[in-house]
Structure 1
Amino acid sequence: MVQTAERRLSAGLLLLLAGLAAIGALSTNIILPSFPSIASALGVPTRDLGLTLSSFFVAFAIGQLFVGPLSDRYGRRHFVLGGLAVFVIGSAVCGAAESFPMLIAGRIIQALGVCAASVLSRAIARDLFDGEELAKALSLTMVAMAAAPGFSPLLGSALDTQFGWRSAFVVVAALGTILAAYYALGAGETHPADRRSATSLRAVMGAYRGLLVDPRFIRPALAVSLVIGGLYAFFAAAPAILIVNLGLSSLQLGLFFATTVFVVFASGLLAPRLAHKWGARSIAILGIVLALLGGVLLLAMSNATTFPAFAVALAIFLLGMGLVNPLGTAITLHPFGRQAGLASALLGFLQMACAALGTALTTALPLPPVLSLSLILTGGSILALVVFLRHRADTHHGKA
């Protein structure tokens, strides 16, 4: 068995955690440039392709609620490997789809499999690390998780142009297979039997209820999730803003997404260093304030948006998101070492729920897309700041 004290954050372990965290986001955003091609091939309106996202998010959110607590009871290894196997099967179904319902079914299978990798990447990090080392591990893996949706549209565009839309599913299936092999060969069981919890379904539901009313969990978890909801709202609104309103090409859109990754990367590297000097809670609050500032700037220019102004406002928001996401996650999971899988699952559920809400609001609000996005970013960041400040007031004598 792997003992926590023996582990170090090596490059190989970091690569593994990053891959587990990122593959779900990669498999979602990589198909966005292929929507017109898929719609043409399957004979459906392009706007109906939104179901490939919403069905994925719903299945992902629900699936991880079960994977987390089951892994607390039976260990992580079998669920990671089994989940990746299911993900590869779902990718094959998508790649072979000859009808829209078959494509949706494949996306649901994908989500039910890959949710295990995503939620258990955080639980594995919590198994192995604590305190500042946990914040460092999560910071670097969250960079990868944020980078995947940034770079994947550019990759998806190239694949669609050169090989057709089905090639994207071939690529993600291959990546899932490689990741499973790497995990099987390079990682032991990180949740040994003496740390597992033997809980019934009723006890699991009770534990979820307990976490939802525990301010140590729900306040930082909700704060992080609200900011993440703004990130996904940005992904959903960016094509309409940048292509339709500002006249960028699809390639330029992909390049813009890729460029934003470097902002998240920089803030992810800064987060543990700043937290070491000033404390995780203080830097997490700074991150929320920066996210709010980005939303307010975008709101102020919503009537006359230019590309440079939009890029600056989004860079400030992403800088803040890159700070609060890993540190807020570490603060959320820190008190729940014996329930890391369950707590990580509920945190992931809240994040996916806020992502679904933010994405839906960008299209549901009867407003110009820039104004809709700015309101979502500003409103979500205000709520995040309020709930996190309440958390800090309750725990101001503690340390993350």
Structure 2
Amino acid sequence: MSTSTRTLVLLSGLAAVSTLSTTIILPSFPAMAGDLQAAPQEMALTLSSFFLVFAAGQLAVGPLSDRYGRKPLILGGLLLFILGSLLGAVATDLGTMVAARVIQATGVCAASVLARAVARDLYDGALLAKALAFIMVAMAAAPGFSPLAGSLIDSQLGWRSSFVLVAAVGALLALSYALVLGETHAPEARSTAKPGSVLTGYLQLLGDRRFALPAMAVSLVIGGLYAFFASAPAIMIGGMGYNSVQLGLFFAATVLVVFSAGILAPRLAQRWGAVSVALAGSLLALTGGVAQVLLYDGQALTTFSLAICLFLAGMGLINPLGTAITLQPFGDRAGLASALLGFLQMAIAALGTWLISAVTLPPALTLGALLSASALCALGAFFAYPLSRAAQPA
């Protein structure tokens, strides 16, 4: 079976819509706070509530899809996401907005986590790596372009239009999924596991180093990506004097690095092997993190761009290949494995963004330390992976 462009675009959209719905509203926080009669710092509740529900929801969605199929979870989740988005568009107070974000997260977590599971249903080996490369690039691209789009929408149409836009995207994805893919998890392949055994299944995955090592490597570099997005405003606006539009343009430019590395990753993996290329990506990301630590004091845009581009290039290699390595041995539990991987990614992303604000060191130095630590741990995980694969039969 070959990967069709239409299928890849659809899966990428399903994976990216959750990030789009969050990062597109970031430039609108001041206007939203005024309209909702909330303090600016209280707007953080719209993020923390979303991430908390999104992370936890994935743990339920994965096993439910393994038992009942992907289609009802994806279509039902997108419908809930649309309703939450429309509620956000008409919210007049912070409590309603937080409720809207919770509803959005409850619905969209299914689309995000099951995009990877559907890819595992459809593809194997090199084709799986190719499909996941497109999906991971889309997930990385969404926070690059959407803040710029959000600032333009806010200035021309108002922040409520951003919620209407993401509701329309959700409707388009639901229609496309129903027409293009439908159910990909055959009834004879479905799990009959009861709720009590789901927890056991998660614990078994965490105890299997074939899953745990690459899953943690991917999650750590994703955490580094979100730490970059969380710290860039303080570094570039507060430290270098750039404005929000220039920051949005910088985010958009960094997407080209992630996109190029993500597209290149499966081609390199076919020649040198996925683990070897992931190791090289870890070294590249580590170089960027160390460069950020060494160059943070009085940093200019050129040195900041150099360090970040090195890290993002490494992340762009690690993300699709590490995800494919993580899911490859667990085709019979693709939903469960994808859900746990998604939970780990969101949990570590939440930790990384919290550390950016909690640590009292300069944001540029904190970012460099987090990028270095995440890349170093990823390097160790991929280095140990061949030993775990030999020790535990597939």
Name 1:42's counterpart in structure 2: 36
Q: 2:108 aligns with which of 94, 110, 114?
A: 114
Counterpart in 2 of 1:279? 273
Query: In the alignment, does 2:118 pair up with 1:130?
Result: no
Residue 387 of structure 1: how far off its partner (Å): 2.4
Q: Structure 1 CA distance, aligned partners of 2:133 and 2:115?
A: 12
Secondary structure, in 3 states, of the residue corresponding to 2:329? coil
CA distance in 2, matches of 1:29, 1:392: 37
1:167-188 Cα distance to aligned partner (Å, 9 max, x none):
1100000100011011111113
Q: Among 135, 141, 152, which residue is 1:147 paired with? A: 141
Instruction: Report deviation, 1:277.
Output: 0.2
User: In structure 1, which of residues 38, 48, 56 is the aligned counterpart of residue 50 of structure 2?
Assistant: 56
Q: TM-score, normalised by structure 1?
A: 0.97
1:152 shift after superposition: 0.2
CA distance in 2, matches of 1:219, 1:326: 15
Give the whole-Å Cα distance in 2 for the aligned partners of 1:113 and 1:151. 23
Cross-structure match for 2:225: 231
* Residue of structure 2 equivalent to 1:3: none
C-alpha separation between the residues in 2 aligned to 1:77 and 1:184? 8
Q: 2:77 aligns with which of 80, 83, 86?
A: 83
Q: Deviations over 1:268-298 (max 9, x none)?
A: 1100000000000000111111111111000
Q: Which amino acid aligns with 2:362?
A: P
For residues 203 and 190 of structure 1, what CA distance do their matches in structure 2 show? Answer: 23
Code of the aligned partner of 1:121: A
Cα distance in 2 between the residues matched to 1:16 and 1:399: 34
* 1:184 is aligned to 2:187: no
How far residue 87 of structure 1 moved from its aligned partner, in angstroms, is 0.4
1:159 is paired with a residue whose SS is helix
Partner of 2:354: 360
Structure 1 residue runs of 4+, over 3 Å off? 396-400
Query: Which residue does the alignment assign to 1:259?
Result: 253
**2:388 maps to 1:394:** yes
Aligned mate of 1:320, from 279, 300, 314: 314
1:336 to 330, 334, 340: 330
Change (3 A) 1:204 1:396: closer
Distance in 2 (CA, whole Å) between partners of 1:240 and 1:16 is 35
Specify every segment of 5 or more residues in structure 1 that has no aligned partner in the other structure, as ranges.
1-6
Work out the CA distance in 2 between the residues paired with 1:370 and 1:67: 37
State the Cα distance separating 1:100 from its structure 2 match: 0.5
| Residue deviations 1:243-289 (CA, integer Å, cap 9, x gap) | 11111111101101111111011001100000000000000111111
Unpaired runs of at least 5, structure 2: none
CA contact (8 A) 1:279 1:399 kept: no
Q: In 1, Cα distance between the equivalents of 2:95 and 2:192? A: 39
CA distance in 1, matches of 2:57, 2:184: 21
**1:4: which partner in 2?**
none
Please give the alpha-carbon distance, in whole angstroms, between the structure 2 residues aligned to 1:255 and 1:34. Answer: 16
Q: Is residue 163 of structure 1 aligned with residue 157 of structure 2?
A: yes
1:93 aligns with 2:87: yes
Letter of the structure 2 residue corresponding to residue 251 of structure 1 = V
State the AA in 2 paired with 1:47: Q
Name the Cα RMSD after superposition: 1.4
How many residues get paired?
A: 394
Relative distance call for 1:398 and 1:138 in structure 2 (3 A) is farther
Show the counterpart of 2:61: 67
Normalised to the residue count of structure 2, the TM-score between the two structures is 0.98
Residue type matched to 2:281 in 1?
G
Structure 1 residues 106, 189: CA separation in 2 closer, same or farther (over 3 Å shift)? Answer: same
What is the aligned partner in structure 2 of residue 200 from structure 1? Answer: 194
What amino acid sits opposite 2:339 in the alignment?
A: A
Distance 2:101 2:284 in 1: 35
Rounded Cα–Cα distance in structure 1 between residues aligned with 2:65 and 2:41: 37
- Equivalence for 2:20: 26
